[in-house]
């Protein structure tokens, strides 16, 4: 008898009929013809895309929060209405202290001591982290990516991005005086949507270098019954941490499943407020000359769309699959650091 992968067959069958969230049985949904796989654009085509989908000026010349303007009071109320069980799940990866293949700059914690002993009465410590890395869950602000001397909405770095050297590779000063993480001090409350591509394909994880296209996102919408729309935060699970647990760390900054650059006009049309994944969002390598991370550039610099790198989506994926609900209330709070190009964060999904 020929052996078959029953999990893969089941997931494929669900996709074919369009499994609706909360349904006891699949319901029929018309399927659109499969689109041709987009090719990798040239550098010139990426630059043209930046012009075509730009949000510069959309919310005024002084805007510094970009697509967070799409998160209206009504959107926050919509998100709050998704809470049924009152069950909260962290989507932050627990900080790694060790130097690993995907963690060359681990976080450091130093405990304050006196006479060789920890302080009594009150434990105190100092935590430091190079958080723009591939194992620390963090949010990128809108000054993080610079193109032709400007950050999102046309702020010039020579005027609004300053530091004085203190030692090799480091400096002190105001940093990002426009588009810093301080603009998001009031936090984020909106509808989060989990896109679990491995679940849909019936596999535990995607292999590094696997691109995700707009057609995959639309297939997921039919699979889950959730349409991604204005003001939403999209979380892409590639299964990076499931693969890491099975095979060990690898240099995910250079080799990772993620979004193909062709999804960017789709993000613009849908008016998504924030994107995230369990790696660096961009499929790696991008294979686009001059743009090693075009998703980062187009999202942050062009759309003014912040992102959360390195979300750990394994636990939330289990909860969502058990509940058959892939939309939830998302809450995120960044450190209100003046001049910061980002911040470590702990995104919370509440069902």
Measured CA to CA, the distance from residue 8 to residue 6 in angstroms comes to 5
Tokens of 246: 């099975």
Three-state SS at 108: strand
pLDDT at 114: 87
The torsion angles phi and psi of 245, rounded to 5 degrees, stand at: -65, -35
Nearest C-alpha neighbor of 334 from the set 147, 194, 144, 163: 144
pLDDT of amino acid 300 = 98
CB 69 within 8 A of CB 59: yes
Burial of 33 (0-12, 13-18, 19+ CB in 10 A): exposed
Q: Can you give the pLDDT at residue 35?
A: 57
Which pLDDT value is given to residue 117? Answer: 86
Please count the other Cβ atoms lying within 10 Å of the Cβ belonging to residue 30.
6
Confidence at residue 311, expressed as pLDDT on a 0 to 100 scale: 98
Rounded to a whole number, what is the largest CA-CA distance in the chain? 72
pTM score, two decimals?
0.89
Extents of the domains making up the chain = 35-93+137-350, 95-134
Distances (CA, A) of 154 to 57, 146, 209, 296: 9, 10, 32, 17
pLDDT of residue 12: 38
What is the torsion angle, in degrees rounded to the nearest 10, for the CA atoms of residue 156, residue 60, residue 141 and residue 92? -170
On whether the CB atoms of residues 26 and 231 are closer than 8 A, the answer is no
| 211 within 8 A of 169, measured Cβ to Cβ | no
Q: Give the phi and the psi of residue 153 in degrees, each rounded to 5.
A: 70, 15
**Nearest-CA neighbor of 161 among 183, 179, 184?**
179
Cis peptide, bond prior to residue 77, ω within 30 of zero: no
Candidates 183, 247, 239, 236; CA nearest to 212 is: 236
SS (H, E, C) 113-159: EECCEECCCCCCEEEECCCCCCCCCEEECCCCCCECCEEHHHEEHHH
In the block, tokens 């989908």 appear at 53
What CATH number should be reported for the domain whose range is 35-93+137-350? 3.50.30.50
Tell me the H-state helices in the chain.
Answer: 6-17, 43-52, 73-80, 157-160, 197-201, 214-224, 240-247, 264-270, 294-296, 314-323
Taking CB atoms within 8 Å and a gap of at least 24, the contacts of 81-87 are: 82/191, 82/327, 82/328, 82/329, 82/350, 82/351, 83/328, 83/329, 83/350, 83/351, 84/351, 85/323, 85/351, 86/350, 86/351, 87/319, 87/350, 87/351
Per-residue CA distances from 140 to 36, 88, 243 (Å): 32, 23, 25
Residues of the chain with pLDDT below 50 are 1-34
**Which pair of structure tokens corresponds to residue 92?**
């932050």
């Amino acid at each position: 008898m020929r052996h078959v992968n029953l999990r893969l067959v089941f997931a494929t069958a669900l996709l074919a009929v369009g499994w609706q969230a909360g349904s006891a049985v699949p319901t029929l949904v018309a399927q659109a013809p499969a689109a041709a796989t987009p090719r990798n654009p040239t550098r010139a085509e990426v630059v043209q895309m930046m012009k075509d989908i730009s949000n510069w000026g959309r919310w005024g010349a002084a805007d510094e929060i970009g697509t967070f303007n799409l998160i209206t009071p009504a959107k926050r109320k919509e998100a709050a209405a998704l809470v049924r069980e009152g069950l909260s799940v962290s989507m932050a990866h627990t900080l790694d202290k060790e130097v690993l293949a995907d963690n060359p700059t681990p976080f450091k914690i130093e405990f304050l001591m006196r006479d060789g002993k920890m302080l009594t009465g009150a434990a105190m410590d100092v935590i430091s982290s190079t958080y723009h890395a591939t194992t620390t869950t963090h949010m990128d602000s809108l000054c993080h990516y610079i193109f032709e001397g400007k950050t999102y909405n046309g702020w010039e770095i020579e005027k609004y991005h300053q530091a004085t050297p203190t030692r090799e590779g480091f400096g002190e000063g105001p940093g990002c005086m426009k588009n810093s993480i301080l603009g998001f001090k009031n936090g984020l409350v909106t509808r989060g949507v989990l896109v679990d591509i491995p679940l849909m394909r019936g596999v535990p994880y995607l292999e590094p270098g696997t691109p995700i296209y707009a057609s995959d996102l639309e297939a997921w919408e039919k699979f889950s019954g959730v349409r991604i729309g204005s003001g939403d935060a999209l979380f892409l699970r590639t299964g990076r941490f499931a693969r890491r647990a099975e095979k060990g760390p690898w240099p995910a900054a250079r080799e990772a499943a993620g979004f193909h650059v062709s999804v960017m006009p789709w993000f613009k049309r849908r008016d998504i407020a924030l994107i995230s994944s369990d790696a660096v969002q961009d499929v790696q390598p991008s294979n686009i000359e001059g743009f090693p991370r075009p998703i980062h550039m187009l999202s942050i610099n062009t759309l003014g769309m912040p992102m959360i790198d390195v979300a750990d989506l394994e636990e939330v994926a289990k909860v969502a699959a058990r509940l058959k609900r892939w939309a939830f209330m998302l809450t995120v709070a960044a450190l209100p650091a003046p001049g910061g190009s980002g911040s470590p964060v702990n995104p919370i999904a509440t069902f």
